[in-house]
Amino acid sequence: MTVRLLDFYADWCGPCKTQDPILDDLEDDYESVAFEKVDVDEEQDVANQYQVRSLPTLIVENDDGIVDRFVGVTQREDIEAALKQAGA
């Protein structure tokens, strides 16, 4: 099963910068998960597809679809729980 974490961010977003180190640590620990950064300024169509309205937004999905969605700075433990639920 493929598990992805989509990180919707913008360069001007302060909370996004706070989220980055948490995601970097998770990426080191979860090699089976595809971590993808989506710059909402450059990829508005993707942001619209996922109905992203606030930043940062994290979406955990697997082959079955979206497993969880987080809006705002999210703690590592919450993201890990969603990754495990998705099958990581």
Residues belonging to the active site: 13, 16
CA end-to-end distance (rounded Å), the chain: 8
C-alpha span between 43 and 38 (Å, rounded): 7
C-alpha span between 70 and 77 (Å, rounded): 12
